[in-house]
Structures are given as C-alpha cells and as structure tokens.
Amino acid sequence: MEIKELEEEIKRCKRCNLHKNRRNAVPGEGDISSGIMLIGEAPGYHEDVQGRPFVGAAGKFLNELLQLIGIKREDVYITNVVKCRPPNNREPNEDEIKACSKYLEKQISIIRPKIIITLGNVAKNYIFKKFKLRNEAISKIHGKVFKIQSIDSCIIIIPMYHPAAGLYDPRKKNEIIKDWLNIKGIVKNVLSKD
Ligand code: SF4
C-alpha cells in the first residue's frame, strides 16, 4: 500500500469514536524517503481544522527546532499516534490508541525509518513498547539515543519532550532546544546518506 492510499483510508476511518467530532483526520505529511519520522500524540484544535499535523503554537516551535538543527520540515515525515483530535485535547485512551495503531504501523512499514523521534509521552510509550525498550519517565530519558539493531537494519529512537511543554516554561524550552541541538549530527548524518 502506498502512503497516499493509506492517508485517504485514514481520512475516511470510523474505527473509533474520535471520528464523530473531528473536522478532519490528520494522517501525517512530509518526505517519506528521508528516513526520519517524528511522532506526536494526537491532533489538537488547529490540526483538526487544517487536517495537518503540528500547525498550532507547538508546531511553530517544532519548526524552529528543526530549523535550528538545519533541516526543513518538509524533509521529515510528521505524524501522530492517533489521527483524530480527542475532545478538549485530552490524551487519547488505550482503546483509541489500539484502534488507530494499524495506521502508524503501516506508516512505519512503508517509510522504514532510520530515525524515529517521539514527541511527548504517548508516542514514547507506544514506540518503546513496540521495540521492547525499557521505558522510563520522559524527564529521565529525553534526548537520549536508543538503537535497535536487527539483521538488516538499525533504527535510532530518540524520545523528546512534546514541543508544547516548552511553550510556557522557559527553562523547559531551553532544555528542549539543548536536546535538539545534541542530535543535530545524528540527523544530518542520516539525511546525507540519502
Ligand atoms: S483516531 Fe484513528 S482509529 Fe479513530 S477514527 Fe480517527 S483514524 Fe480512525
């Protein structure tokens, strides 16, 4: 299945109750050939309106972080664990994550990422479970680099704070900026091998 076909399927999906209040499902967007995937939690208000991931204030900060390490937003594929907005921006529940996981799984299998950057707890918990990594609090492992080695590939997983965490807390914002600057070399290295 191609990514566009999958994105169309997501837009029509009614597998969980989140479809009832959505304006738009938000499948994801970006370059699927760069080998870099960013995974957030779920769409918020602006994402639901526009049908695009990370377009609100947190998205603006994410764009700045990407710029800071010298890559363009279009160079990476950005998506969320859950593709429709939960009411009042609450965290998606287990049933919603389970219902929606088939899409993230397909995106990962189509893109075959070399780097997965998780943004926030929901994405970290999902990806750490999937790859059987020892999960710890984001406050302990943010910005750390984890490597999954299989016979034919190596995937780098980097859990980051959700950019929204830095919006109203200058100290956290600086911590987030530092984490992103630290991974500049790793990300550039993957991009240069394209
Ligand atoms: S959140 Fe996922 S599973 Fe639920 S309706 Fe939207 S696309 Fe379908």
Q: How far apart are CA 194 and CA 9, in angstroms?
A: 29
Q: Is the pTM of this model over 0.85?
A: yes
Question: Which atom of ligand 1 lies at the shortest distance from residue 13's CA?
Answer: 8
CA of 107 to the centre of ligand 1 (A): 14
25 Cβ closer than 6 Å to some ligand 1 atom: yes
Helix (H, G, I), strand (E, B) or coil at 142: coil
pLDDT confidence of residue 105:
98
What percent of the chain stands above pLDDT 90?
93
Sequence spans of domains, the chain: 3-189
Does ligand 1 come within 6 angstroms of the Cβ of 100? yes
Backbone angles phi, psi at 160, to 5 degrees: -120, 155
Q: How many residues comprise the chain?
A: 194
C-alpha to C-alpha distance for 15 and 99, rounded to whole angstroms: 6
Atom of ligand 1 nearest to the CA of 82: 1
Strands 154-160 and 146-149, sheet pairing: antiparallel
Distance 73 CA to ligand 1 centre (A): 24
The residue-averaged pLDDT of 108-124 equals 97
Task: With beta carbons less than 8 A apart as the criterion, state whether 117 and 158 touch.
Answer: yes
Task: Write the pLDDT tens digit of every residue in 41-69.
Answer: 999 999 999 999 999 999 999 999 999 99
Architecture of domain 3-189: 3-Layer(aba) Sandwich (3.40)
Q: What's the rounded Cα separation, in Å, for the pair 42 and 20? A: 15
- pLDDT for the residue numbered 151: 74
Q: Per 3-state DSSP, what percentage of the chain is helix, strand, and coil (rounded to 5)?
A: 50, 15, 35
Q: Which atom of ligand 1 is nearest to the CA of 10?
A: 7
How large is the average pLDDT for residues 111-135? 97
Give the pLDDT of residue 153: 84
The span from the CA of 40 to the CA of 89, in Å, is 13
* Contact (Cβ atoms closer than 8 angstroms) between residue 30 and residue 77: yes
Is the confidence at residue 193, as pLDDT, over 90?
Answer: no
pLDDT of amino acid 194: 61
Residue range 150-172, pLDDT digits in tens: 777 899 999 999 999 999 999 99
Convert the pLDDT of each residue in 177-192 to its tens digit. Answer: 999 999 999 998 887 7
